[in-house]
């Protein structure tokens, strides 16, 4: 095996680096796409850590935004759970047809 590498012309390692870089870029694009589809870039996520007991620690604006964000998160949660339930039912239906 080492003889194979010794017989290669000069400059072959750049191609190894290029393939590695392409793999890294493809992987990064894949994970960014996954993150965008799974709501990982939500800037209001900081409000989810609060609860009603933290009202005295927040300004009126922050509390109002907290209530808004929690309603949006609950609606999103219901939507995602409903979608998963539909997918499971569809999968079970396909399995039953077999």
Over residues 24-71, the pLDDT tens digits come to 999 999 999 999 988 888 788 788 888 888 888 888 898 899 899 899
Structural domain range at position 23? 1-41
Instruction: Compute the distance between CA of residue 63 and CA of residue 47 in angstroms, rounded to an integer.
Output: 9
| Local structure of 9: helix, strand or coil | coil
37 and 2, same structural domain?
yes
76 and 46, same structural domain?
yes
Q: What is the pTM (predicted TM-score) of this model?
A: 0.55
Could you count the other beta carbons within 10 Å of the beta carbon of residue 1?
5
> How many folded domains does the chain comprise?
2
Tokens 């799974």 sit on residue: 38
Instruction: Tell me the Cα Rg of the chain.
Output: 25
91 and 60, same structural domain?
yes
Tokens 């609950």 sit on residue: 74
């Amino acid at each position: 095996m080492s003889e194979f590498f010794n017989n290669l012309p000069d400059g072959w390692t750049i191609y190894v680096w290029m393939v590695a870089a392409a793999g890294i870029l493809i992987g990064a694009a894949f994970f960014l796409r996954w993150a965008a589809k799974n709501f990982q870039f939500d800037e209001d996520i900081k409000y989810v850590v609060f609860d009603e007991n933290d009202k005295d620690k927040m300004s009126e604006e922050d509390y109002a935004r907290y209530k808004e964000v929690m309603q949006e998160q609950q609606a999103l949660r219901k939507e995602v759970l409903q979608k998963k339930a539909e997918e499971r039912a569809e999968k079970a239906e396909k399995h039953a047809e077999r």
